[in-house]
Structure 1
Amino acid sequence: MSLIADQKVKLWYSPFACSFVPHVVLREAGIDVELILAQVGDMSEEFKRLNPKGRIPVLAIGDEIITEMSAILTAISFLAPEAHLLGRTSLETIRVYEWLNYLSTTAHAQSFASIWRTERFTHDVNLYPSIQSRGVENVRDVYALIEDKLSEGHSDYAVGHSFTVVDSFLILLYFWAGKIEVEMEFTYPRCTRYVKNSWERKSVAEARKIHMIV
C-alpha cells in the first residue's frame, strides 16, 4: 500500500514523552492529525492490542499502524515530501538517519531510559541509584557530542540549512536534560542557542502546548 496524504492520520501520544517528536513533525508537515492520549505507565488493553510492544508513539495512516520512531518519522515525511523533513539531498537524508539512530538508541533508550525507566535494566532495586547515576553521566556525554556536532555545522539546524525531523528530537532531549538537572545553558551554549532558535517555531509551539512543555 502506498501512503496517501488525504488518509486519516492518528497519533497516540503521552505528554512529556518522545511522542512530542512526531507531533512536531506532523505540524511542520501541515498534516491534520487526531491525537489520542495513551499515558506512559498506564497503557490500556486496547492500546496493547494496537501495539503489543506497549510503547508510544504509535501512528496510524488509514488502516496502517506504524511503530518505532524512525519508521514513524519516515512515514510522516513521505506524506509531505515538499517539506523535505528527511533532508534536501541524499547525503542529508543519510545524516538524518545517522542522527536518528543515535538519538533513539544511545540518547533515549540507553541514557534517559536508565534514569526514568530503571526497571527495564534490572530487577534489583538496590542497583537503581548506580544505574541512574551512570545514566546522568551518559546524558552529559551525549550532549557533549551534540554540542560538538552543532558547532561543526555552522547552521541553525542539525542537518543542512532547513528544519528536519532531527531538530524536533533534539528540542525534546534538551528539555529532558533540564528535567534531570543537567545544567544546559552554560555547559552547552551551542545547544542552548540552537534550541532557542526553534522554541517559538509554530510547529514546536503548537506541540509544546499539548505536551505541556514550557
Structure 2
Amino acid sequence: MSFEPSLKLLHSPGACSFPNLILARVGQMTPEFASINPKRRVPVLAIDNEVITEMSAVLTSISSLAPEKNLLGRSTIETIRVYEWLNWLSTVVHSQAMGSIWRTERYSNDPAVYPAIREKGLETIRECYAMINEKVAEPGTGFAVGKGFTAVDPFLLVLYCWASRLEKDMGQDYPVLCGLREEASW
C-alpha cells in the first residue's frame, strides 16, 4: 500500500523557498499564509495536517517522499554533508550575507548604518561564494555533494541567481559555480 500525502508548499518567487519548489514543484503564496506560518517566512510545507517550516526541514520532508532519488545523499557521510551545506547556506549565506543587503532593517533601526551593513554583507557574500566555488570543485562532479543531485544543488542555484544580481561578472571569480549553473542537467 502506497501512501501519498497531500502537500501544499507556500513559496515566494526568487526567495530561499525556490529550492523547495524545484524539488516539490507544488504550491504558491496565498492569503492564508500568515495563518499557516506565524513566522511570516518562507518556505512552508503542509503535509496533510502538519505544517513544516525552515529550509532544511522542508527540503528533508520533500526528499523523504522520494527516498529512491537520494536527495539527501547516497551514504551517511553524504547525508551529513548535505545538512552541513544546508545549514551553512541558510544561516550564513542567506540570512547573514544576503539578509544584510536586502533586509538591512533586520540588523539595525538606524538607517545611517545601513551602507556599512550592506558593504559588510557584500564582503561576506564574496567570501562565501569563493568557498562555494572551491567546495563544488572538490569532487569535480558538477554537484555539491557526491556524484548526484541533492537538495543542496537547487539551493545553490537560487543563491547563484541572487549573487549574479549583485556581482555582474561572476564567471571570472566563481567559474566552477557558474559552470554548475550552466551545465546543470537537472
Question: TM-score band (shorter)?
Answer: over 0.9
Determine the structure 1 residue equivalent to 2:28: 36
SS at structure 1 position matched to 2:87: helix
Deviations 1:90-122 (A, max 9, x none): 110000001011100010000001000011100
What is the CA–CA distance in structure 1 between the aligned matches of 2:84 and 2:28, rounded to whole Å?
30
SS at structure 2 position matched to 1:186: helix
**Aligned pair 1:183/2:141, yes or no?**
no
Determine the structure 1 residue equivalent to 2:111: 125
What is the CA–CA distance in structure 2 between the aligned matches of 1:126 and 1:119, rounded to whole Å?
11
What is the CA–CA distance in structure 1 between the aligned matches of 2:101 and 2:24, rounded to whole Å?
28
**Aligned pair 1:152/2:127, yes or no?**
no
**Aligned pair 1:169/2:161, yes or no?**
no
What is the CA–CA distance in structure 2 between the aligned matches of 1:83 and 1:47, rounded to whole Å?
29
2:87 to 82, 101, 113: 101
Unmatched runs of 5 consecutive residues or more in structure 1: 28-32, 39-43, 202-214
TM-score (normalizing by structure 1): 0.83
SS at structure 1 position matched to 2:148: coil
What is the CA–CA distance in structure 1 between the aligned matches of 2:113 and 2:142, rounded to whole Å?
40
Deviations 1:114-151 (A, max 9, x none): 00001110000111111011101110000010111112
TM-score (normalizing by structure 2): 0.95
Deviation at 1:47, TM superposition (A): 2.0
2:71 to 56, 62, 85: 85
Amino acid at match of 1:36: Q
**With CA pairs under 8 Å and 6+ residues apart, which has the higher RCO, 1 or 2?**
1
**Aligned pair 1:63/2:36, yes or no?**
no
Identity %: 49
Determine the structure 1 residue equivalent to 2:6: 8
Determine the structure 1 residue equivalent to 2:16: 18
Deviations 1:192-211 (A, max 9, x none): 1111111x53xxxxxxxxxx
Amino acid at match of 2:162: W
Q: Could you tell me whether the CA contact under 8 Å between 1:5 and 1:80 is conserved in 2?
A: no
Deviations 1:76-101 (A, max 9, x none): 11111111100010110000001011
